[in-house]
């Protein structure tokens, strides 16, 4: 798949995810809905954020920063970072909705995400 098609398909999927999220927010009453609607909301928000962060990350790395790495490496790194950032955002929102969002809860979450990124960097370094 070419870089152009990656951006087109990722943008299309992200647009669909954001549209589904808007429709979900406008049509579902969170106070009367069941558990399944909340699961759909968080999954849709996660997919929307992953797509948005991934597109923004690739554009930043390729167009603004002008990284000298291969395009596939830039796409892989930005996709991995977008998953981590989106997970932090969605888990933080979930904890906040359940009145569990405190600094002593967020700090271990951030430490785990940093550790996961460090493991990916170690694996990437071992492949060289």
Helix (H) or strand (E) holding 77: helix 71-97
Overall size of the chain counted in residues? 128
Asked if 66 and 99 count as a contact pair (C-beta separation under 8 A), the reply is no
Specify the pTM.
Answer: 0.89
Please state, in angstroms and as integers, the Cα–Cα distance from residue 7 to each residue in 15, 19, 64, 70, 90, following that order.
12, 18, 16, 15, 24
Domain residue limits, the chain: 3-101
pLDDT at 128 over 80: no
CB atoms inside a 10 Å sphere around CB 17: 20
pLDDT of residue 57: 93
Condensed to tens digits (0 to 9), the pLDDT of residues 32-71 reads: 888 899 999 999 999 999 999 999 999 998 888 887 778 8
Q: In which band, very low, low, confident or very high, does the pLDDT at 15 lie, cut at 50, 70 and 90?
A: very high
Condensed to tens digits (0 to 9), the pLDDT of residues 101-127 reads: 998 999 999 999 999 999 999 998 888
pLDDT of residue 71: 85
Q: In which band, very low, low, confident or very high, does the pLDDT at 1 lie, cut at 50, 70 and 90?
A: confident
pLDDT of residue 90: 96
pLDDT of residue 11: 96
Residue 96 CA to residue 4 CA, distance in Å, equals 38
């Amino acid at each position: 798949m070419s870089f152009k098609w990656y951006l087109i398909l990722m943008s299309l999927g992200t647009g669909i995810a954001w549209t589904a999220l808007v429709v979900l927010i406008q049509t579902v009453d969170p106070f009367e809905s069941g558990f399944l609607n909340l699961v759909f909301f968080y999954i849709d928000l996660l997919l929307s954020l992953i797509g948005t962060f991934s597109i923004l990350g690739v554009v930043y790395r390729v167009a603004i920063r002008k990284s000298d790495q291969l395009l596939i490496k830039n796409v892989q790194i930005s996709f991995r970072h977008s998953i981590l950032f989106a997970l932090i955002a969605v888990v933080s929102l979930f904890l906040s909705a359940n009145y569990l969002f405190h600094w002593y809860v967020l700090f271990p979450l951030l430490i785990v995400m940093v550790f996961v990124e460090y493991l990916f960097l170690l694996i990437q370094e071992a492949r060289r």
